[in-house]
Amino acid sequence: MDHNTIKQGKTTAIIAYFTMVGALIAITMNLEPKNAYARFHTRQAFGLHLCFLAGAIFLSVWFNEFAWYGLYIAYLVLWGYGFVGAIGGKAQQVPLVGAYFQKWFTFIS
């Protein structure tokens, strides 16, 4: 991606990492004009938030205190990695699951 594309999509990319609502706002912000950098980070953030919510719903039924710690630690580490990448202007996938998010969430354009 060129520097101009990153510069134009940076705000949308950063907003995507602020909760699921932020990801939904970023999706609507990127409808027109479309930006590849914003799309990349919106997919990453949307996937992270969705996995966290799914894990939280699962753990609300099957309560294990240490599983909750693991969920929060994994979420915060992956979220931080993606957020720092968005701020730094890098299109780096979140470890372990980032490639899947890019494939699964192709409806985010």
Has residue 53 been placed in a domain?
Answer: yes
Task: Please state the domain count of the chain.
Answer: 1
pTM value?
0.89
User: pLDDT for 60-90, tens place per residue?
Assistant: 888 788 989 999 999 999 999 999 999 999 9
In a domain, 44, yes or no: yes
Q: What are phi and psi of 34, to 5 degrees?
A: -80, 140
pLDDT of residue 3: 82
Is residue 70 situated within a structural domain?
yes
Residue 76: inside a domain: yes
Cα 97 to Cα 7, 64, 65, 105, distances in angstroms: 25, 23, 24, 12
Q: For residue 109, tell me if it sits in a domain.
A: no
Structural domain of 89: 3-104
Predicted pLDDT of residue 43: 93
User: Could you report the per-residue pLDDT of 6-15, keeping only the tens digit for each?
Assistant: 888 899 999 9
In a domain, 75, yes or no: yes
